[in-house]
């Protein structure tokens, strides 16, 4: 009998998405936690006893989300801070607005998607999807890093998208100035986020940081398969019946949250990994999967990092008690300073 080839993905311990470990005393920030997958990430993390902070640019929506979580999770410690990823200069103040001494995890979930032309820009002059989904999170991580480094073993969890699997970055046209197509630009903005998450972990490991970066994606998550959370999401009978065939391959946004929640809570989840749904990457409980071939391209990741640093104005920084700030290093793979 011929022995089977070893798997490229090592086995992981059992995990129950409905019975999460306690995380009392921890503090988690979820960007875009007021709606969609981000809301369910926040709701599920709130059930662990942690303090969960929703980052949202809309205070009214954030208040509705926090009220919903408190109504569903007894004793939930949840609150909101204003966070606008399209306004890069404003992100410097987010760390102070958290009013905490440490941050145990941030889930980079927020994002925008445009279905139709024309191309739009942020106030800083960046293409809206690339500027919000990628550059905003890149800059935010820079300002959160002191709080993350103050935690014993913090996590940066980047929410990618299955739409990024078929895309490739154009390093000469990252902001789609020459050729703008909304769906492709969205997929590329999420791919840029995922490259950032992978490259961030390389840099964290290079400086011996206790912070870990993990990349996840939600598979195929549809509103029509998502349980109701009134008033901001109500699924009627017609939507439930119409979505029944899709449930064979896809899932709701509550399940799309599972990979991110596991990446935050499970100490067995290693850095630089990709996590997604178990069933062909589209539905089911979270599991590790091989890093997509193009996502493992360290040259593209390093070049994207350099351009992102130039576009956001993030600079290298060394502070007492910390090694080089991994979100601003000038080298592709920095070494600890002696």
| Strand 221-222 versus strand 105-108 pairing type | unpaired
> Of 39, 180, 186, 195, which residue is the catalytic one?
186
Residue 45 buriedness (CB in 10 A; 0-12 / 13-18 / 19+) = buried
Spell out the long-range contacts of 14-17 with Cβ–Cβ below 8 A and sequence spacing 24 or more: 15/262, 15/266, 15/285, 15/286, 17/255, 17/258, 17/261, 17/262, 17/285, 17/286
Q: Is 186 a catalytic residue?
A: yes
Angle at 173 between CA 123 and CA 189, to 5 degrees: 65
37 and 253 Cβ atoms separated by less than 8 Å = yes
Please write down the HEC assignment for all residues of 26-77.
Answer: CEEEEECCCCHHHHHHHHHHHCCCCEEEEEECCHHHHHHHHHHHHHHCCCCE
User: What number of other Cβ atoms are within 10 A of residue 335's Cβ?
Assistant: 12
80 and 53 Cβ atoms separated by less than 8 Å = yes
> What is the rounded CA–CA span in Å between residue 156 and residue 148?
8
Please identify every residue annotated as catalytic. 186
């Amino acid at each position: 009998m011929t022995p089977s080839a070893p798997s490229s993905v090592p086995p992981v311990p059992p995990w129950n998405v409905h019975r999460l470990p306690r995380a009392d005393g921890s503090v988690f920030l979820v960007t875009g936690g007021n709606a969609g997958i981000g809301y369910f990430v926040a709701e599920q993390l709130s059930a662990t006893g942690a303090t969960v902070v929703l980052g949202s640019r809309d205070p009214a929506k954030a208040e509705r989300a926090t009220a919903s979580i408190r109504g569903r999770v007894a004793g939930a410690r949840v609150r909101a801070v204003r966070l606008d990823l399209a306004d890069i200069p404003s992100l410097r103040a987010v760390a102070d607005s958290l009013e905490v001494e440490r941050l145990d995890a941030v889930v980079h979930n927020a994002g925008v998607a445009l279905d139709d032309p024309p191309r739009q820009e942020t106030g800083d002059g960046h293409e809206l999807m690339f500027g919000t989904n990628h550059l905003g999170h890149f800059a935010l991580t820079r300002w959160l890093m002191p709080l993350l480094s103050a935690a014993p073993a913090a996590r940066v969890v980047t929410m990618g998208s299955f739409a990024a699997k078929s895309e490739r970055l154009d390093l000469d046209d990252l902001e789609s100035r020459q050729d703008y197509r909304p769906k492709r630009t969205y997929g590329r903005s999420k791919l840029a986020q995922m490259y950032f998450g992978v490259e961030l972990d390389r840099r964290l490991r290079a400086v011996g940081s206790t912070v870990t970066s993990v990349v996840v994606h939600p598979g195929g998550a549809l509103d029509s398969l998502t349980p109701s959370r009134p008033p901001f999401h109500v699924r009627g009978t017609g939507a439930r019946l119409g979505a029944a065939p899709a449930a064979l391959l896809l899932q709701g946004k509550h399940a799309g949250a599972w990979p991110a929640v596991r990446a935050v809570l499970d100490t067995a989840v290693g850095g630089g990994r990709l996590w997604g749904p178990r069933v062909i990457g589209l539905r089911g409980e979270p599991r590790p999967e091989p890093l997509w071939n193009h996502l493992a391209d360290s040259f593209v990741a390093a070049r994207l990092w350099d351009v992102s640093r130039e576009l956001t104005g993030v600079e290298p920084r060394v502070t007492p008690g910390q090694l080089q700030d991994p979100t601003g290093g000038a080298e592709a793979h920095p070494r600890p300073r002696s």
